[in-house]
Structure 1
Amino acid sequence: MDQQPPEPADAQYDVKSDTENVVCSRCGTVADGRPPTWICSVENGARRYFCDACSRDNIRAIEGRLDSAWW
């Protein structure tokens, strides 16, 4: 059986964002596409991206699941 299980109903694929520049929501750094070292956070229903430098600086707050407004 080579069938794959169906995708969950809430799965979302945003092909467009793979090819556009991503901007860090904290410091404004711009990157091509979505770098694998950046963090994506969903806050109030909106995706927010954070560069690796901002992520490292705020890792405890991120692990504590605090919205970026609390950092």
Structure 2
Amino acid sequence: MNEPPTAESPTTPAPATGPATSATTRADQPALVCARCGKPTQELPLTWTCSVENGTRHYFCDDCARTHLRAIEGRLDSAWW
């Protein structure tokens, strides 16, 4: 009844690739910085906010995100705030 796995139907999913899902350390990658105040971090904290503006990702630290929360929720470009 059960057929052996083939290339079309693998039994385990293929590992995800890319920087967001990579299990490697970020020591060899440049530190992330807040797009507003320039605060550096080696790993992306959960409290930071990501905004995509004109196709580019911008990361904001928790202090800047808290200060400009209304502008972020109103989807204003960071140039306006």
TM class, shorter-chain normalised? 0.7 to 0.9
Unaligned runs of 5+ in 2: 1-10, 12-17
Higher relative contact order (CA 8 A, sep 6+): 1
Aligned length in residues: 60
Counterpart selection for 1:30 from 23, 28, 40:
40
Larger Rg: 2
Between Structure 1 and Structure 2, the one with more helix by share is 1
Distance 1:14 1:42 in 2: 17
Q: TM-score, normalised by structure 2?
A: 0.65
After superposing on structure 2, the runs of 4+ consecutive aligned residues of structure 1 that deviate more than 2 Å are 13-16
Partner of 2:71: 61
Cα RMSD (Å) of the superposition?
2.2
Unaligned runs of 5+ in 1: 4-12
Bigger fraction of residues in strand: 1
Q: Percent identical across equivalent pairs?
A: 56
Structure-1 separation of matches of 2:52 and 2:76: 11
